[in-house]
Amino acid sequence: MQEQQSAAPQPVKPMSFTDKIAGIFASPSELYDQVRLAPPTASNWVIPTLILIIFTIASMVLVLNDSVLFDQMMAPQREALAKAVQEGKITQQAADQQERMVSSGSPVILISLVVTIPITVFAVLFLFSFVFWLIGKLVMKSTAPFMKVVEVYGLTFYIGALGVLVTAALRFALGSFHASPSLALFVLPFDVHNKLHLALSVVNIFTIWSLVVTSIGLAKVFQRDLPKVLVLIFAVWILLSIVLIFLGVPMG
């Protein structure tokens, strides 16, 4: 009886906020061992997601207050409006009105950011978690719960939040809205219509870092070999990147 009691699994010790941040940056393998064994913990994805949203909104507010960066950010929209006027789709008066609505001093654009950024971040969290969960279930025959995959991916948003800070610093240091910790840093001024520039923007150090850490976490919760998980996750990323480059969407 005593031997049976001693062989019983020990309860997982709850991790603090600082433990999780230290773990995701310094020892993700150990962190995800704890995540796998622990009961469902909403704070593993809620807190990093909220931090990423706050950092992203703050960085964009700074852009709104910098005339050079804001002008670069809005350049594609101005080009689209000018093209619409030339093609007779809208009048010049309507184009001017739309441009005034999204000027740096307009509350419309600030409200738009405050609304769209949280929606986008949460959509990315659950959409990619669902894709990863499907890979685990269908390809790797894993029985890991969906919300456990959400925890794995959500914790990487701490890395994403750091990436937002580094990107903001690069933008202001180089005076370019398109500056990012990616290979596109070497082709400034960035051309959103250049497929090569878009491809270089995909190779972002924080994106790759997050994917590696996500793969480590998924390997733990799926209880599968890390190399196999890495190959599948990076294959998904490459396919998505090709699609977005084809559509002309910068990812840096």
Residue 182: strand pairing partners: 204
Give the torsion sign (CA, 232, 205, 35, 57).
negative
Please name the residues in contact with 32: beta carbons below 8 A apart, sequence gap of 6 or more. Answer: 152, 216, 217, 220, 221
Q: How confident is the model at residue 11 (pLDDT cuts 50, 70, 90)?
A: low
How much is the pLDDT for 196?
Answer: 92
**CA separation, residue 68 to residues 46, 71, 199, 202 (Å):** 34, 5, 24, 24
pLDDT band at 28 (very low <50, low <70, confident <90, very high): very high
User: What DSSP state is assigned to residue 144?
Assistant: -
Q: How confident is the model at residue 250 (pLDDT cuts 50, 70, 90)?
A: low
Residue 58 lies in a domain: yes
**Confidence class for position 4, pLDDT limits 50, 70, 90:** very low
Range(s) of the domain holding residue 52: 41-65+104-247
Asked, for residue 27, whether it belongs to a domain, the answer is no
Domain total for the chain?
A: 1
pTM surpassing 0.85? yes
Q: Tell me if residue 133 falls in helix, strand or coil.
A: helix
SS3 state of residue 102:
coil
Segment 40-64 shows an average pLDDT of 96
Does 136 fall in a domain?
yes
Cis peptide before 189 (omega within 30 of 0): yes
Is 34 among the domain residues?
Answer: no
